[in-house]
Amino acid sequence: MSHQTDANCIFCKIIAGQIPSMKLLETTHSYAFLDIGPIAPKHSLVIPKHHAAKLHELPDEYLADLLPVAKKVALASGAEQYNVLQNNGRMAHQLVDHVHFHVIPKPDEQQGLG
């Protein structure tokens, strides 16, 4: 299957293997990898193989695969508690203009201060 890509997009380059990444999981439509600037251990990103900047621009077939992959990534993290976040536009804190879901595990309560 050939996916629509953008030659200038950092996440398209990651999918193509032109930029290295710590891959966690790959499906026909999606790619999951560790965030390079984690705000928590195992902070991960789940992205579609189709280039689209914002969620509303992404074809449904790609959209439909993202949450099942995010679910597997969350499960594999072993975290009981976690955030799944997705930003659209600069005002909404989006820095990379290729749709991505953050999966951000919360540390175990035993390891934190409560």
Q: Judge whether 105 and 85 are in contact, CB under 8 Å.
A: no
Distance of CA 33 to the CA centre of its chain: 7
Least distance to Zn ion, CB of residue 108, Å: 34
Q: Does 100 bind Zn ion (CB under 5 A)?
A: no
In this chain, which stretch among 6-14, 21-29, 64-72, 80-88 interacts with Zn ion, using CB under 5 A? 6-14
Q: Judge whether 24 and 73 are in contact, CB under 8 Å.
A: yes
Q: Does 51 bind Zn ion (CB under 5 A)?
A: yes
Q: Which of 42, 43, 49, 98 contacts Zn ion by CB under 5 A? A: 98
Q: Which of 21, 55, 63, 72 contacts ligand 5GP by CB under 6 A? A: 21
Say which entry of ligand 5GP, Zn ion, none residue 113 contacts (CB below 5 to 8 A, set by partner kind): none
Residue nearest to Zn ion (CB): 9
Q: Is 100 a catalytic residue?
A: yes
Q: What order of strands is seen across the sheet that includes strand 23-26?
A: 23-26, 30-34, 44-48, 101-105, 82-85
Classified as helix, coil or strand, 72 is helix
